[in-house]
A and B are shown apart, each in its own frame.
Chain A
Amino acid sequence: MLAYVLRRLLIGVVLAVLVTFITYLLLSGSFRDMVSTLLGPDVTAADITRRTHALGYDRPVVVQYVDWLGHAVRGDLGTSLFTSSAVAPTVLSHIVVTMSIVFPALLIAVILSVTLGVWAASRSGAPDRIAQSISLVGHVIPALLTAIVLVVVFAVELKIFPATGFVQFIDSPVGWLRSVTLPVVVLVIAGMASITAQVRGSMIEELSKDYVRTLRTAGLPARSIVLKHALRNAGSPALTVISLEFISLFSHSVIIENVFALPGFGSFAFSSAQNIDVPVIMGVTLVSVVLVTVINLIADVANGYLNPKARLH
């Protein structure tokens, strides 16, 4: 198990190096653009050359990359060229914000979807129609629309929740809760659609399997058959969807973050890419790779727990 995790992490490290290197290569064409943005509106080509040199962006790309990698290995991701703040802690602080909305949203979405999906699969009729309608609404109504309606109703008009901004949990737990509620609701609605459909589908399939009938012939109560046996077996495909949903929520949070003016990872990554803030882009890329690797690993380990056949030795 440990060996497996280590091997996967090693693959993650190799991927991280490859991805960051390719990103650096792609970025290398834009170093002068970055410097010109940095220097403000009325620059001359000579200014740009001077500053590019001062920052070391005129060295061979490979040298620069190895330099970056050397620092990154020691945990030093450099400082942002635009805010002059250290990249590593800044990236982390933005991840905290996005996690604060994505994680609760996913948790709630999973709980609701699984409940709904199981309910729909084991009792057709009204529950099934409710589950399918929720999927439909989630698919058809863009999150942006939900977001703006919620803001206008609950923040601007009723003033129950703040319209924008993020409060650190340690500063004020209540403030934190109020600041994440609306974005979480938006993401829950968006995330529930596919998870509910998936859980419903795999539960229906699972409940039609032979072992379910055999469990019934053993006189076991329906609750145990559905919730203990079928749900666990349906969990494996659902887990894949959940992990993909997590990555997707995380990476698409930029729009929601913009609407709620949350200083999250998505909008941070987006603005750094727009400015071509090279140290930040590299940090963001690295963190994304790590995140994807870790989430996939967690999903696979969890899958191994749920599904003994998938367990690796």
Chain B
Amino acid sequence: MSTTLIPEPDDAQISVVPRRSVWRHLRRDPQAVATAIILIVLFLAGLLSPLISPHDPNAASLDAINLPTGTPGYLLGGDESGRDILSRLLYSFQTATVSALIGASVALAIGVIAGLVGGYFGTAVRSSTEWLFNLIMTFPGLITLIVLLPLTHGDYRWTMLVLGVLMSPGTYRIVRNLVLGVKKELYIDAAKVSGLGDVRILARHVLFAVRGPIIVNTAFLMGSAIAAQSGLAFLGVGAKDVPSFGLMIYSGFNNIYASPLQFVWPCISLGIFTGCLVLFGNSLRDAFSGPRIKRQKPAQGLRLVTSAIPTSVVTATVERDDEPMLAIEDLGISFPGTTGAREVVKGVSLTVDQGEVVGLVGESGSGKTQTAFAVLGVLAPEARVTRGSVRLEGRELVGLSESALRSLRGRVVSYIPQEPMSNLDPSFTVGSQLTERVRHTLRVSRRAARQTVLDLLARVEIPDPPRVFRSYPHQISGGMAQRVLIAGAVACRPRLLIADEPTTALDVTVQAEILDLLRDLQKEFGMAILLVTHNFGVVADICDRIAVMRGGEIVETGVTREVFRAPRHAYTRGLLDAILDEGAPAGGDASTVGAGR
């Protein structure tokens, strides 16, 4: 037996920041409520066992030996020594509770303090805590506990103390990793700038920030401690005068052929106790990782959820030459919220002609990105199209199946995301990701696909295509990653490119290059582009037409130059006014001076 006694839950998914809604989230989670109630009942049963037990748990009556379940006075029967099983079961809950408390608090005390210190201070401190916990982790736990029996005198409380130490590396690792993350948070820097001491920062800011995962970890630690205590008692390590599940299971197991129920009662009790702790811990983790909206069946295709289907949807399915590249009509998209569905796109209408570049402009939360996702058919699973139509070269997308949409994606319509890094699969090389795309859409051999990709990388002006081809996403710069994504998007010469803030995450000099690239590609392939952005400079640079969105509605559309010159809507005017370079400097040669957004 080595390392910790019970595997630690993974902490990767635990978000650092506990949210206020944790309590509310827990109350709504049936699993949390059920397990919490069971746990409270069991804790109470343990706590009150001296009061509610019908017998002393160690009182052995020779007349009560192996009494069957249901005997008056011995509700669950007597065990092989003539002790009341119900009383022993109740006291076992107490033992389990005490074990859980001791084991978990020792592990927490050691793991949390060392984790805070090891994560917060420099590498020298960390490497020494690392060594210490690696050492503890490598100890064969069961052997250690048996060897230490002369010191613990078999008292389960001392044993749990040792166990707590043995379990502490798991907690340490969780806390250390969290602290390493929290340490980078700016509010820690702000606290340092305010002159706060390390201890105060650790106690007030860091500990507070990581408390969520620690609470979650506590539930798992308690479960582990109970399981370990039972396991040890079952194996006969430790004192026998304190009733515990392990002891009861041991005697029940040896008596299993004579009266199987003696085995089943403690087994089930233990299972429910530890199981509830683990499940409650899972619920806690869900609660701390934020209000995850009840998962629904992932959207298959782009389905309309209202019964009233607009006539246009039914009629306009025939492909015609004079159809615009993209025609969005009265599109509505809603998300389920805490107070019912919330519409984020409220009847948007927009057209993009063949080969035309249209800018969709708005501030954050205006619904521009959701509109773009709707065209691609990649709305979040919980999002619902409530009304309207989206036609791509005359073909209605609303109501189309996922597979039909899939055949359009990458071939007819393509996508460039905002954040280049998070949109590349971190586990595959750039080359393999692009090759997969090309092979899938063009149905060519691996070798041909590879050549195509290398040509594409050269086309998007990547200096050393073979090197980038071999690189993983984290090995290339953001600008380079965006070029890679563009290469992927134009690989199959789509007729419509949806670019969602394609330059926002980039430096201005890189932004200018990417815009140049997009413009060149657009001319070369005759693509239409729907460019989602908040930057009027970008719009001015590349867009033929512009649509301004606010609060899920389009407030103004028009030819770019005209809208800039004479915005009709007050909101557009306000936006343009907020641009800082208005009032060009004196002697302004517009082409050489003045900068702005």
Contact = CB atoms under 8 A, between A and B. Distances in A.
Asked whether the complex places CB atoms of A and B closer than 8 A, the reply is yes
Interface of A: 11, 15-16, 18-19, 22-23, 26-27, 29-30, 122-125, 128, 136, 139-142, 144-145, 148, 194, 197-198, 201-202, 204-205, 209-211, 213-222, 224, 229, 232-233, 236-238, 240-241, 244-245, 247-248, 250-252, 254-255, 266, 269-270, 273-274, 276, 281, 284-285, 288-289, 291-293, 306-309
B6 interface: yes
18 contacts: A15-B138, A30-B147, A124-B298, A128-B295, A194-B9, A198-B9, A214-B423, A217-B410, A219-B441, A241-B7, A247-B7, A273-B146, A274-B146, A285-B140, A288-B143, A291-B2, A307-B427, A308-B474
Given A214-B417, A233-B427, A288-B2, A19 B422 contact: no
- Greatest chain B CB density within 10 A among A221, A241, A252, A254 is at A252
Given A213-B378, A248-B7, A292-B138, 4 more contacts: A217-B414, A247-B7, A251-B1, A255-B231
Interface in B384-414: 402, 406-411, 413-414
Contact of B437 (A30, A148, A218): A218
- List 5 A-B pairs, minimum CB-CB distance, nearest first: A251-B1, A140-B275, A219-B410, A244-B7, A217-B415
A258 B203 CA distance: 47
A274 B411 CA distance: 70
A293 B138 contact: yes
A142 B1 contact: no
B533 to A, nearest CB: 18
Contacts of A18: 135
Contacts of A254: 1, 142, 235
Interface in B264-287: 264, 267-268, 270-272, 274-276, 278-279, 282
Contacts of B253: 144, 148
Contact of B147 (A26, A211, A250): A26
At the interface, is chain A mostly helix, strand, loop or mixed? helix
A144 B249 contact: yes
B296 interface: yes
A11 B131 CA distance: 9
Contacts of B44: none
A211 to B, nearest CB: 5
Contact of A218 (B1, B278, B472, B488): B488
B464 interface: no
Contacts of A26: 144, 147-148
B426 A233 contact: yes
Interface residues of B, number: 81
B428 interface: yes
Contacts of A19: 135, 138-139
Nearest to A141: B271
Contact of B409 (A15, A217, A241): A217
Contact of B10 (A209, A211, A240, A281): A240
A160 B295 CA distance: 43
Contact of B2 (A211, A218, A289): A289
Contacts of A140: 271-272, 274-276
Contact of A217 (B12, B376, B419): B376
B419 A210 contact: yes
Contacts of A202: 10, 12-13
A140 B147 CA distance: 30
Contact of A255 (B234, B428, B488): B234
B406 A221 contact: yes
B174 to A, nearest CB: 11
A4 to B, nearest CB: 16
Contacts of B231: 252, 255
Given A124-B297, A289-B138, A211 B415 contact: no
Contacts of A125: 297
Nearest to B440: A220
B485 interface: yes
B378 A216 contact: yes
